[in-house]
Amino acid sequence: MNWKNIAKILGISVAVIVLVLAGLLIWGLSKLPSAFEIKQSLTPPALKERPHSESSPQPEAETSSQTSDAEGLPEKSADQSKLNKDEVLRQQSLKVIQEDFMDERKPLADACRTMGKASESGFLKDPKNASARYFFSTLAEENKDPLSEAAAPAMRMIFRAPGMNGLMDMILKADEAQDPGVLKKAEFYYEIYRAGSYLKTHLAELNTTLQQSYNLYHVMKAVALKPELANSPQVMTFCEDLQKNLNTQSDFNVEEGAKEMQNFLEQNGIKPAEVGFDPKYRSKVDLTVSNTQLGVNDAWIAQIFAEDLKKAMKDREQK
């Protein structure tokens, strides 16, 4: 399916990081609910309406269910189990955002460390894992999915923008007090525009981060295709150099970076098409700011949230 056509149907640019700050973080492109509805969920829409049988990492929910059975308690209904699983993922999302994305002590990228797990990535094993549900659940783990990790640098840069801490505090207070009015105060709008203004003046850096993470992501896909590359000192050096430049936000020549990636793939007997690498891809962020939304859109991450895009399109067609 052509994601550009989907983007046109949804009335957006080819995208896709959509940060709806009235709800902490909403991934996907469905019609936005009210600010209070979003705030109450505090999770991607993918975590709310997925079938109970969907395959994804849910160890805590399973453990809870097993414990209940062992104690002789009534078996939980499917709806109750689903709520428990969604709550686990809600907590995972909050943990990732607060303890990872917003923590400036942590590097923007740390994918090379777990490069050896690339061939085990759920993104490659099951198309249904191309979702916010899987993305957040794997980033909450100690040994992160290297493909999720390679896609995360732009999120970290965005969540470390001035104003984001203030937004988080207000959103969590609104949730705790069950008071949607908190999200309508001038202070809330101020923090959104503060973050938006910062990103507008740092679009070049954001584009560079996305471009470099695009290359890093495809290094992971190359290792997934040929797992033996994880044991190659040359491959590790290439990965670490790319990652170091990303973390230090050093000068980066996009054209040279694309050529280096092509050479890297060629030297390891991989055609760009085999890992989905497009040497002509150039990051071009589309930034939108309003009272309730900070939208940061770029093309390549669409594949990571493909299932959310499909669901959003389906929801649009049914309305």
Question: Mind listing the pLDDT tens digit for each residue in 79-116?
Answer: 556 557 777 777 888 888 889 999 999 999 999 999 99
**Which pair of structure tokens corresponds to residue 23?**
């709800």
Is the pLDDT at 243 greater than 70? The verdict is: yes
Q: Identify the residue with better confidence: 23 or 258.
A: 258
- pLDDT per residue as tens digits for the range 190-213: 887 888 888 888 989 989 999 999
Q: Identify the residue with better confidence: 296 or 187.
A: 187
Is the pLDDT at 316 greater than 80? The verdict is: no
133 pLDDT band, cuts 50/70/90, is confident
Least confident residue range of 7-11, 166-170, 283-287: 7-11
| pLDDT value, residue 77 | 57
Identify the domain containing residue 314 by its residue range: 3-318
What is the pLDDT averaged over residues 18-46? 35
Is the pLDDT at 7 greater than 50? The verdict is: no
pTM of the entire structure? Answer: 0.72
Is the pLDDT at 74 greater than 60? The verdict is: no
Count the Cβ atoms, other than its own, within 10 Å of residue 23: 26
228 pLDDT band, cuts 50/70/90, is very high
| pLDDT value, residue 81 | 60
293 pLDDT band, cuts 50/70/90, is low
Q: Identify the residue with better confidence: 261 or 61.
A: 261
Least confident residue range of 20-24, 240-244, 265-269: 20-24
Is the pLDDT at 54 greater than 70? The verdict is: no
Share of the chain above pLDDT 90, in %: 34
Closest by CA to 254, choosing from 304, 202, 210, 299, is 210
Is the pLDDT at 57 greater than 70? The verdict is: no
| pLDDT value, residue 121 | 93
| pLDDT value, residue 314 | 74
What is the pLDDT averaged over residues 216-226? 97
Is the pLDDT at 185 greater than 90? The verdict is: no
Share of the chain above pLDDT 70, in %: 66
| pLDDT value, residue 101 | 92
Is the pLDDT at 226 greater than 50? The verdict is: yes
The structural domain count of the chain equals 1
- The CA angle 51-52-57, to the nearest 5 degrees, is 105
What is the pLDDT averaged over residues 241-251? 94
